[in-house]
Structure formats: C-alpha cells, structure tokens
Copies of this chain bind each other. A is one copy, B any other.
Amino acid sequence: MSDPTKPKMSASKAEILDAAAEVFMTLGAEAASIDDVARHLGATKGRIYHHFPSKGALLAEVCLRAADFVLQKVPPVVQATALPADNLRNMILTHIPEVLRTLPYHKVIIQSYVGVQQKSTTAHERELFAQIQLERKAYESLFRQVLQAGMDDGSFRAQDVSVALQSLLLLINAPVFWYRPRDNEPEAFVTDLSVQLADMAVASLQ
C-alpha cells in the first residue's frame, strides 16, 4: 500500500525501471536481456547490475512498481460512508488514467497473466514475486470489498463474487491490451474512456 515508511526510490533506479518496462513491453520479458535494457538506456550493464542483481529481479521490480502505482492512487478515493457504486466508480476513474500514465509497466504485468510457467528463480526473486502477490491481493481485496458491500446492501445483483471480481478487473484493464498513446489524441480521450468503462463496470453489476 502507500507506505510512508517506504524509502523513496532513487531517480537512477526509477530511470532503469522505466527503460526496463519499455524494453520488456516491446520485446517480451522472456526474450529481452539486460543488454537490451542497457542499450535502450545508453548505459553500461554495470549500472543496471548495481541496482538489480539479475534480469529476474529487474522484471520483478517492474511488476512490483506497476502494483505500487495503482496502490498509491486508488485506496485513498474509497470512502467508508459512500455508496458502493460511487466508490467503485471513483476507483475506476482513478485506476484507468493511472494505468495508462504508466502503460509499459502494465503491459509487462499482462504478459504474466497469460499463465506461462515461471522458470526457476533465485531466493531474492522468489521473495520479490511473493511481495507482488501480496500487493496484487491487497488491490483485488479493495475491489472485492466494494463488490461485497454492494451485494450486501442490494445495490449490486447477487452473484459469485470471485467471478464478478475477475471479470471486473479484466474489464477495467481492457485498455492496457489495446490502448496506444497518439500524438493527435483529443485532450479528453483518457477521461472519456475512463467514464465509459466506469459506466459499463457499474452497470454490469446492477
């Protein structure tokens, strides 16, 4: 979650993660190498290895930062006293612009959704992947709570909450699959898109 005790990431580390996210998105995390990331960054491999002991660790930290981005922005918009539909709408209106602002990170995350077996990894990488799972669960649970609250008060249709949750998460991440920023994009494009998907998501539950 947005942890105020978490030390702020160095600009150098953030710059490497930005480059890695771009390269993993374009070439695929499986095929891309530390060399590819260094080349994209115009830096030596040594500079990357100074911060990240292996490609697996670099990939894990890209995924972790993807989760961090939304976990810093979305939980604060949930209000204990708001109606479930209003909370859900505000969560989605915050989630989508944040995901599109940090698109390469989320393109890398969806590569991991396709369920290909992970290669065996180091203890450090396994620890990072366990942390990713925790953050992903924390984020999902935020949505699960609002779905459950809506079913409990009757504003959402009674249904299997896990199926609804997974479907909802794919629906609000749909633009990660197809969205490409364009030079001539209308200023309101992302806002309009977010409103349309928030409308669809809330309506889908009612």
Tell me the A residues contacting B by CB distance below 8 Å: 25-28, 30-31, 107, 110-111, 113-117, 157, 159-160, 163-164, 166-167, 170-171, 173-175, 177-178, 192-193, 196-197, 199-201, 203-206
Contact = CB atoms under 8 A, between A and B. Distances in A.
Given A160-B192, A201-B204, 4 more contacts: A26-B116, A28-B114, A159-B196, A167-B171
Contacts of A107: 114-115
A173 B171 CA distance: 10
A111 B114 CA distance: 6
Given A110-B114, A170-B177, A200 B196 contact: no
Nearest to A25: B115
A199 B159 contact: yes
Contacts of A174: 166-167, 170-171
